[in-house]
């Protein structure tokens, strides 16, 4: 709700501070008194287009400040959050605009500098203007779907949830399709590389083994020569012959000792026996050494083909490692990984089928919900059309017809609010085709039609912004003007309404009444705003009824209108 408007140096207003209340506020005054300046100042504060002509002559700049008291759940707070503007929902919202005489403009929200575009976005959520020259809000077809849903108490939450699920399913499906498309070449490459690795069949530690084998095979010839020399040294006759000679010599010594009378348990024979045993063991070990040397020689296979095979195998392993930009030791692990990747790619086909089925199911769920929503909207549209047309005749628009056009959107334009293009359309004369609301040529008719639509929507379209009707009664009087006043009063029972009027029937319905008048002399003219008490209000309505000379009959008629 608008609670205050401060105006400085706007056209004919030098300084003005206004306080607004709920309900219907009527602004009256003579033609040219400056009633529209109040609306211009309010538009300036809420981001409307402005030019230097609004700056009062002789002033450096004009300024307008609008203060609003809003509920904590008002949509404006989300806009401030998005724009990074600080706020407190339990405090007033203050919009300020300064306009220099050279046309430059500055905008502020809660004393924080912002753009005029942001101010306009905020203002669009706070007020609607319906007048002779424009109707802001209802002419924007983008608002018609929200208004229809609010009127019919139709919820799109189910459709929004189905849309979210369908979008997620489509994204998952597309990701798998992209993966499959990029995987085709990769599968071909992995299949080829895996085939090569399978054919090569590398083993862990194989490079080290082959390198050692090649080194040994390369040195085998010299090693065998050395082994042969060792064999000759052990079995060439020298060791065995000398050991045999030593054994026989000890045997002869033993015989001589016995002949000399040495006993078997004597020291001499015992030591000779021990020496013979050592020599016998040495002879046996020499034989075992020879056998071990022969075994060692057998380990050195001098087969030239074996050396060539080892070198070729080592070359093949290293060539494959270079080709795949890995070490030879990584080849066995890479082979396993390629096999796993190939298996994963093969399973992608099954995943893709599952994702396609999930997307089709989600799509069907969305279209089922959207179709149901469309049916509910059509029923609500019929009810709204009937309600609006019931309001048209008393407002001297009995030849007009109204309808809610609901057309299906193509699938590519599907969204969380459904598959409907919703537009309010009007036919101004019998037989004339239906068209957009701006097809109404007369400004007065457009304003009255906006009133009829707002009256039909009253209490159904959520939090109501401030509604401004500028001379909505232009060109009508009597019963039609009274119908206008009644609908404005009814509309103001659940919202804040400001009406600029020349009709006493409309002014009499106001909860508050302000008179706009010019003051000053030929050199300095000013616009003044005077809130009227009950007596002054009666006098003003009587003036509107009778003109310059206020009669007793006019005062009586004024009292009757006010009390009606």
Assign 477 a pLDDT band (cuts: 50, 70, 90). confident
Is the pLDDT at 177 greater than 80? The verdict is yes
> Average pLDDT in the 129-158 region?
80
| Band of residue 304 on the pLDDT scale cut at 50, 70, 90 | low
Question: What pLDDT is recorded for position 192?
Answer: 81
Q: Region 446-458: what's the mean pLDDT?
A: 83
Assess contact for 458 and 412: CB atoms under 8 A: no
Residue 564, both tokens? 């009606």
Tokens of 163: 């849309």
pLDDT in tens, 331-348: 888 888 878 777 776 666
For the chain, give the mean pLDDT. Answer: 84
Whether 231 is covered by a domain: the verdict is yes
Residue-wise pLDDT tens digits, 524-555: 677 888 899 999 999 999 988 887 788 888 89
Whether 256 is covered by a domain: the verdict is yes
Q: Which helix (H) or strand (E) holds 470?
A: strand 466-470
Nearest to 161 by CA among 360, 369, 396, 364: 369
pLDDT beyond 70 at 461: no
Q: Which of 55-59, 317-321, 366-370, 481-485 has the highest average model confidence (pLDDT)?
A: 366-370
Torsion of CA 49, 33, 497, 384, to 10 degrees: -80
DSSP line for 280-334: HHHHHHHHHHHHHHHHHHHH----HHHHHHHHHHHHHHHHHHHHTTS-GGGHHHH
**463 assigned to some structural domain:** no
What does the pLDDT average to over 305-314? 80
Return the pLDDT at 361: 96
Q: Is residue 561 part of a domain?
A: no
Give the count of alpha carbons within 13 A of 490, CB side only. Answer: 16
Residue 315 lies in a domain: yes
% pLDDT > 70, the chain: 91
Q: Average pLDDT, stretch 498-508?
A: 90
**What's residue 309's pLDDT?**
81
Express each pLDDT in 209-248 by its tens digit: 888 877 777 777 677 777 777 777 776 556 777 878 888 8
Name the token pair of 290: 């020879």
Q: Is the pLDDT of residue 450 over 60?
A: yes
Q: Is residue 314 included in any domain, yes or no?
A: yes
* pLDDT of amino acid 303: 66
**Token pair for residue 213?**
């084998």
CB-side neighbour CA atoms (13 Å) of 387? 18
Residue 303's domain spans which residues? 179-342
Within a domain: 531: no
Contacting residues for 274 by C-beta, under 8 A, at least 6 apart? none
CB 162 within 8 A of CB 419: no
Lowest mean pLDDT among 103-107, 448-452, 554-558: 448-452
State the average pLDDT over residues 378-401. Answer: 90
d(CA 356, CA 203): 42
DSSP-derived pairing of the beta strands 24-29 and 512-520: parallel
* Number of structural domains found in the chain: 1
97 CB-near residues (< 8 Å, 6+ apart): 44, 45, 47, 50, 63, 64, 65, 105, 106, 107, 108, 116, 119
Whole-number pLDDT of residue 276: 81
- The CA angle 477-479-483, to the nearest 5 degrees, is 100
Measured at the CA of 181, the angle between CA 180 and CA 184, to 5 degrees, comes to 80
pLDDT (tens digit per residue) in 86-134: 988 889 999 999 999 988 999 999 999 999 999 999 998 898 888 655 5
- The reply to whether 476 falls in a domain is no
The pLDDT of residue 76 is 92
């Amino acid at each position: 709700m608008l609670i205050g408007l401060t105006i400085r140096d706007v056209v004919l207003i030098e300084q003005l501070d206004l306080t607004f209340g709920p309900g219907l506020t009527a602004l009256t005054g003579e033609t040219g008194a400056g009633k529209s300046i109040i609306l211009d100042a309010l538009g300036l504060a809420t981001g409307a287009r402005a030019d230097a002509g609004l700056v009062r002559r002789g002033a450096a700049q004009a300024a307008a400040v609008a203060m609003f008291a809003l509920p904590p759940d008002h949509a404006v707070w989300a806009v401030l959050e998005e724009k990074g503007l600080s706020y407190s929902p339990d405090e007033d919202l203050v919009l300020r605009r300064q306009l220099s005489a050279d046309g430059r403009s500055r905008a502020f929200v809660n004393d924080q500098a912002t753009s005029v575009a942001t101010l306009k976005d905020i203002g669009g959520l706070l007020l609607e203007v319906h007048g002779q020259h424009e109707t802001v809000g209802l002419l924007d077809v983008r608002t018609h779907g929200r208004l229809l849903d609010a009127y019919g108490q139709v919820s799109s939450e189910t459709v929004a949830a189905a849309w979210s699920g369908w979008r997620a399913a489509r994204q998952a499906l597309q990701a798998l399709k992209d993966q499959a498309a990029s995987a085709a070449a990769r599968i071909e490459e992995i299949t080829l590389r895996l085939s090569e690795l399978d054919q090569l069949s590398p083993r862990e530690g194989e490079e080290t083994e082959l390198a050692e084998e090649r080194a040994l095979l390369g040195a085998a010839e010299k090693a065998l020569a050395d082994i042969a020399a060792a064999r000759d040294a052990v079995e060439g006759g020298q060791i065995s012959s000398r050991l045999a000679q030593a054994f026989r010599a000890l045997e002869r010594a033993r015989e001589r000792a016995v002949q000399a009378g040495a006993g078997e348990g004597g020291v001499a024979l015992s030591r000779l026996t021990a020496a013979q045993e050592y020599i016998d063991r040495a002879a046996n070990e020499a034989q075992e050494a020879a056998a071990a040397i022969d075994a060692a020689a057998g380990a050195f296979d001098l087969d030239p083909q074996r050396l060539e095979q080892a070198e070729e195998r080592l070359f093949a392993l290293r060539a494959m490692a270079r080709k795949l930009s890995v070490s030879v030791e990584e080849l066995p692990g890479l082979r396993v990984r390629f096999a796993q990747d190939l298996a994963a790619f093969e399973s992608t086909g099954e995943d893709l089928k599952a994702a396609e089925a999930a997307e089709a199911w989600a799509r069907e769920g969305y279209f089922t919900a959207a179709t149901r929503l469309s049916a509910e909207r059509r029923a609500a549209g019929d009810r709204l059309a009937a309600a609006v047309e019931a309001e048209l005749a008393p407002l001297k628009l009995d030849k007009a017809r109204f309808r809610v056009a609901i057309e299906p959107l193509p699938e590519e334009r599907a969204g969380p609010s459904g598959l409907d293009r919703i537009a309010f359309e009007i036919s101004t004369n019998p037989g004339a085709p239906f068209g957009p609301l701006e097809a109404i040529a007369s400004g007065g008719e457009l304003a009255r039609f906006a009133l009829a639509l707002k009256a039909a929507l009253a209490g159904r379209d959520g939090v109501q912004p401030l509604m401004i009707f500028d001379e909505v009664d232009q060109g009508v009087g009597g019963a039609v003007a009274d119908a206008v006043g009644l609908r404005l009063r009814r509309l103001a029972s659940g919202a804040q309404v400001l009406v600029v009027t020349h009709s006493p029937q409309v002014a009499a319905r106001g909860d508050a009444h302000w008179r706009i008048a010019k003051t000053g002399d030929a050199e300095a003219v000013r616009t003044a705003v005077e809130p009227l008490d009950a007596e002054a209000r009666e006098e003003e309505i009587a003036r509107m009824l009778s003109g310059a000379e206020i009669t007793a009959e006019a005062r009586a008629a004024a009292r009757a209108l006010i009390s009606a």
